[in-house]
Structure 1
Amino acid sequence: MSHSIHPPEKVSVGQLQASQTSQSTQSSAMERQHDEKITDRESARVDIPEFPSIDEKTVLRKMDIRLIPMLSILYLLAFLDRGNIGNAKIEGLLDDLHMSGPQYNWTLTVFFFTYCVFELPSNLLLKKLRPSRWLPLIMIAWGIVMTLMGVVHNYTGLLATRLFLGIAEAGLYPGVAYYITLWYPRHRAQYRQALFFSAASIAGAFSGILAYGIAKMDGVGGYAGWRWIFILEGLLTVVVALVAPFAIHDCPETATFLTDAERQFVIHSLRTQHSSDSREMVQDQTKFHFRYVIEAFTDWQIYAGLFMYWGITCPLYGISLFLPSIIKDLGYTSSTAQLLTVPIYIVAAIVAVFAAWVSDRRKQRSPFILFFMAMIAIGFIICLASSGRGVPGVVYFGVFVAVVGIYPAFPGNVTWVSVNLAGDYKRAAGMAIYIGLGNLAGAMASNFYRAQDAPQYILGHALELAFVVVGMIATVIMRFTYQCINRKRDSLDLSQYSSDPDSLGDRSPFFRYML
């Protein structure tokens, strides 16, 4: 088959100029269309100021030095006062008050009823009032209750003081967790949450050492050693509360330790942290509206995250309330059991801070949460496999592994949910609801380790393991859901949003969930 070859057609200069003019016209039209799209996009954006003279590390270091130490001391004392009943138990509390094992478990449980109910109103009051006044005020309240716990004479008196302790302590953890989000952008928050929360693990270590020393006061003033544990630790809380107002700063806007430029930098960092394109997302939440609470109550994140939260806090409270008893029932004396809790908590605090630092640098939350929840599960598997086999050292090692998993996982879990809630009042309400309902795990875990199950505690370890596994599944589901929503928003044409979408908070098309 032959093919005919045609010579190329001759193109005149006029035709060439007309073609070039047509292409130029088409190009100009495309450029105008592109420029119009950019203009539409930028009309919904806020000009981003630059801070060439600001060193972020210097600003963060300033805030860390001024904020974190006092917050850590507050939470150390709160956790110390909440969990020292476990130390008092092995020093004779049950015998002196003629209490049974189930009655002791009930005194642990009722604390969480009032603790959970009062977290939401307390967080809303924290937003309304000044943190430098509200946090020390509730601190004085629980310090007084703790001191009175040392002079109760029966089961009823102990039960009543535990109820009031829950009311007084309710506002501290959710309040401080929310307070940190007012200062640090979300990719910097977990390290600070871990620094603050590691005070809980240090409290566990400090509690054992302190209880060991205070118990030696047995008989002083006619009081048993366990009574002095409550009295002295309660008085210490009141003393620190009197100093706290002078060491707590309310918000970046009024922070005197920052320069004007540094304050503007911090505020700008907080306003752009949730955006997909570094635009400022400013919500009008200077006044409280009940709809913010409704939005928090109806947010799917709160309820999906609860299973993750329970998977961490059930082991947390189970260990913190019963660790001295678990170790003592391995065959150690009370004094040795108190001291053996110390290295567990110290290592857990170090790992928690390091893991949070890495998590912030990677700007990832869920992979670290899953890793440490797996450690919790492995720890309880070791406990179950070795209990009752005459190897107390292996059981101790299993508890050690579980605790080292608990303390890094917890601040990661709270930070992950908090940074994905946008809007100050919604975040304040959402965190209180999340932490409040999450702490119902304490009411459950306080009944996992029954006196009749000693020394193996098979039921307690098995229940803790079950909660961890469910929590890991919930974590995977949350990450997958966040990814799907982010991808859907990435595919949107954001130029069509000429109105202010920031009033939608984390439902804004510009908002991206942190993974």
Structure 2
Amino acid sequence: MRRRSPPPKPQQDEHIESIEAEQSTKPIQTSQGTDSSKKDDALQLIEEAGYSTILTPENNKEVLRKIDLRLLPILLAIYFLQQLDKSTLSYASVFGLIEKANLHGQMYSWLGSVVYVAQLVFQPLVSYLLVKVPLGKFLAVSCLLWGIALSCMTAAETFASLLVCRLFLGIFEAGIAPAFIAVTQMWYRRREQPVRLGSWYAMNGVVNMFGSLITYGLGHISSSIFEPYQIIFLFFGLITVAVSSVVFIFMPDSPIKAKFLPEEDKLIAIERLRMNQQGIESHEWKWDHVKEAALDLKSWLWFSLMLAISIPSGGITTFGPLIVESFGFDQLNTILLNVPFGAVQLIATMGGAWLATAWKMKGPVLALLCLPPIAGCCMLLRIPHDDAHKGPLLVGYYIISVYPGITPLIYSWSAANTAGETKKKVTTGILIVGQCVGNIIGPTLYTTEEAPLYKRGLTSNLALFCVLVVLILANMAYMSILNKKHEQQRVAAGKDAKVVDHSMHAVGAVITDKEGAPIQQAVNDNAFKDLTDWKNEDFVYVY
């Protein structure tokens, strides 16, 4: 590739910090004596270009806009369909699936859990594939295969056949959330990640709103060939298959390979992520990263957090419509009354993401989001289930629906505090395993025989929301310890102990101490060396 001179340095406003720009004009050092396969692909692209570009508020905003316009519609569509496809089971239960397939005892609960059993078993393979396989193609193939699996549920009329279809649905969906976390780490600054993660996870709320409305319409279709629940499976399955072709054509694999970005914009996209200290892409599987992920206490705190939130999530997702029906509503009203549930989810998810961005902290926001579900569980356990109390019971149910705002913030918290390509994927795998285990356990705590009170399920959910608060505080304390350790390592390396993590601030922002003096930012010489967060003393953990 022809070497070009760096573009002229733009004029900076007197209130804009120029440290990032100054550092980006440093000569590019070739990695002599270093195996190129061990470098981050971003560093290789910079070396081929001959320079790293200058990041300014203006070009950062322009490239971020291009990235959002290309990625977010695809991610939102995929996650909307995934959550819709998972929710078809609960919708189908209202339209006669339980009676038609003669489901009894724990059968229906296991149809909800088996998806997560499959995801649990396949997480190690998913972690490996996400390092080795292009992300865009991975998402397209996954989308196609789970759409086929859902369509096949149309012909399933027994517990065994439904279980097999749900098993394959779980296998093909196993990599979606880990891939989305990887995409977010690969394309966005840490400051930008909570809102982007929240936006696609907020599709849970959109599904509960529009999925309920669509299902309401499908439930009115009269057919001599298909039962209403079969129409639901077929309709959503075929849509998913169609969308997979769009994903294959338009979803880029990485900023380095993005065809929709000119070469200069690719360099800007890379420079945007320098201060993350997390790298962008490397296709080498590193066993020392695997070992570190297994020994890192953070990995198991993420696991515990996801387990604690996913047990209530799995139960309420599977039994939510049945809980509402137990208040004394008919089938169609039960479906319609899930619309406000979705609206609360949407507000909680995006509100939590916005608050985490504004505070530049996720732990306190997570603890805050645990309080409404605690109150909601208490209401459903204490209020009598009769016609006179339908309104208060619905209010309690809707208050519980704040809990979906917790999961994407845990995703974001983990994503922002892990570095090293293989370690990122393994840590995400551990986190997803916790989510899968929780979603397996969750539905089993509810049984149709316990209607209408569902006391065991709601009591266990209440306890777990309280446990979440304790785990959040423990994780914040541990990251404080890690930051102090890195301060000591920086001093030993001749660097300033206190640095500012500029990935958590707007590009060009001036960060000052109490006396008004600018604070040194973390140096970026380790940014694209594929170092783990433990081994990179410049890495700053965010609470």
Please say if residues 308 and 472 of structure 1, whose CA atoms lie closer than 8 Å, have aligned partners that are also in contact: no
Does 1:395 find its partner at 2:393?
Answer: yes
Please say if residues 110 and 163 of structure 1, whose CA atoms lie closer than 8 Å, have aligned partners that are also in contact: yes
The structural deviation recorded for 1:48 is 8.5
State the partner residue of 1:257. 260
> Which one has the largest radius of gyration?
1
Quick one: distance in 1 between partners of 2:476 and 2:91? 39
Structure 1 residues 204 and 225 mapped into 2: Cα distance closer, same or farther (>3 Å)?
same
Does 1:266 find its partner at 2:293?
Answer: no
State the partner residue of 2:297. 300
Does 1:494 find its partner at 2:513?
Answer: no
3-state SS, counterpart of residue 391 of structure 1? helix
Please say if residues 118 and 174 of structure 2, whose CA atoms lie closer than 8 Å, have aligned partners that are also in contact: yes
Unaligned runs of 5+ in 2: 1-25, 30-42, 44-50, 496-524
Letter of the structure 1 residue corresponding to residue 397 of structure 2: V
Match of 2:216 among 212, 216, 221: 212
The structural deviation recorded for 1:49 is 6.0
State the partner residue of 2:403. 406
Quick one: distance in 1 between partners of 2:137 and 2:280? 26
Number of positions where the alignment pairs a residue of Structure 1 with one of Structure 2: 465
Quick one: distance in 1 between partners of 2:96 and 2:145? 26
Does 1:115 find its partner at 2:119?
Answer: yes
Does 1:326 find its partner at 2:326?
Answer: no
Quick one: distance in 2 between partners of 1:140 and 1:282? 30
State the partner residue of 1:233. 236
3-state SS, counterpart of residue 258 of structure 1? coil
The structural deviation recorded for 1:301 is 1.0
State the partner residue of 1:30. none
Quick one: distance in 1 between partners of 2:171 and 2:486? 42
The structural deviation recorded for 1:233 is 0.9
Does 1:180 find its partner at 2:180?
Answer: no
Structure 1 residues 53 and 307 mapped into 2: Cα distance closer, same or farther (>3 Å)?
closer
Quick one: distance in 1 between partners of 2:279 and 2:417? 15
Does 1:137 find its partner at 2:141?
Answer: yes
Structure 1 residues 270 and 454 mapped into 2: Cα distance closer, same or farther (>3 Å)?
same
Please say if residues 146 and 161 of structure 1, whose CA atoms lie closer than 8 Å, have aligned partners that are also in contact: yes
The sequence identity of aligned pairs, in percent, is: 25
Please say if residues 123 and 428 of structure 1, whose CA atoms lie closer than 8 Å, have aligned partners that are also in contact: yes
State the partner residue of 1:374. 371
When structure 1 is superposed on structure 2, of 373-382 and 167-176 the one drifting more is 373-382
The structural deviation recorded for 1:347 is 3.0
User: What pairs with 1:124-163 in structure 2 (closer than 5 Å)?
Assistant: 124-163=128-167
Structure 1 residues 396 and 273 mapped into 2: Cα distance closer, same or farther (>3 Å)?
same
Structure 1 residues 194 and 469 mapped into 2: Cα distance closer, same or farther (>3 Å)?
same
Structure 1 residues 289 and 416 mapped into 2: Cα distance closer, same or farther (>3 Å)?
same
Letter of the structure 2 residue corresponding to residue 411 of structure 1: P
Match of 1:506 among 521, 527, 533: 533
Which whole-Å deviations, capped at 9, do the CAs of 1:75-112 have from their partners, x for residues lacking one?
11111111210111111111111121321112222221
3-state SS, counterpart of residue 55 of structure 1? helix
The structural deviation recorded for 1:469 is 1.1
Which whole-Å deviations, capped at 9, do the CAs of 1:235-260 have from their partners, x for residues lacking one?
11111112211221111112233343
Please say if residues 307 and 434 of structure 2, whose CA atoms lie closer than 8 Å, have aligned partners that are also in contact: no
State the partner residue of 1:441. 438
3-state SS, counterpart of residue 388 of structure 1? coil
Quick one: distance in 1 between partners of 2:163 and 2:363? 38
Quick one: distance in 1 between partners of 2:106 and 2:464? 22
State the partner residue of 1:103. 107
Please say if residues 305 and 474 of structure 1, whose CA atoms lie closer than 8 Å, have aligned partners that are also in contact: no
The structural deviation recorded for 1:67 is 0.4
Structure 1 residues 199 and 60 mapped into 2: Cα distance closer, same or farther (>3 Å)?
same
Match of 1:167 among 147, 164, 171: 171
Letter of the structure 2 residue corresponding to residue 82 of structure 1: K
Quick one: distance in 2 between partners of 1:298 and 1:347? 38
Quick one: distance in 1 between partners of 2:307 and 2:398? 20
3-state SS, counterpart of residue 321 of structure 1? helix
Please say if residues 374 and 466 of structure 2, whose CA atoms lie closer than 8 Å, have aligned partners that are also in contact: yes
Does 1:383 find its partner at 2:380?
Answer: yes
Which whole-Å deviations, capped at 9, do the CAs of 1:443-465 have from their partners, x for residues lacking one?
11111221121111121111111
Letter of the structure 2 residue corresponding to residue 109 of structure 1: S
Quick one: distance in 1 between partners of 2:203 and 2:279? 33
Does 1:421 find its partner at 2:418?
Answer: yes
Unaligned runs of 5+ in 1: 1-41, 275-280
State the partner residue of 1:312. 309
Please say if residues 54 and 262 of structure 1, whose CA atoms lie closer than 8 Å, have aligned partners that are also in contact: no
State the partner residue of 2:348. 351
The structural deviation recorded for 1:221 is 4.3
Quick one: distance in 1 between partners of 2:158 and 2:279? 54
State the partner residue of 1:24. none
Quick one: distance in 2 between partners of 1:358 and 1:388? 35
Which whole-Å deviations, capped at 9, do the CAs of 1:330-380 have from their partners, x for residues lacking one?
000000000000122123213322331231232211111111012221221
Structure 1 residues 500 and 194 mapped into 2: Cα distance closer, same or farther (>3 Å)?
closer
Letter of the structure 2 residue corresponding to residue 399 of structure 1: Y
The structural deviation recorded for 1:490 is 2.1
Please say if residues 146 and 173 of structure 2, whose CA atoms lie closer than 8 Å, have aligned partners that are also in contact: yes
Does 1:246 find its partner at 2:249?
Answer: yes
Please say if residues 305 and 475 of structure 1, whose CA atoms lie closer than 8 Å, have aligned partners that are also in contact: no
Letter of the structure 2 residue corresponding to residue 408 of structure 1: G
| Bigger helix fraction | 1
Please say if residues 119 and 170 of structure 2, whose CA atoms lie closer than 8 Å, have aligned partners that are also in contact: yes
Quick one: distance in 1 between partners of 2:168 and 2:279? 39
Please say if residues 309 and 471 of structure 1, whose CA atoms lie closer than 8 Å, have aligned partners that are also in contact: no
State the partner residue of 1:10. none
Quick one: distance in 1 between partners of 2:395 and 2:299? 34
Structure 1 residues 361 and 56 mapped into 2: Cα distance closer, same or farther (>3 Å)?
farther
Quick one: distance in 2 between partners of 1:158 and 1:320? 18
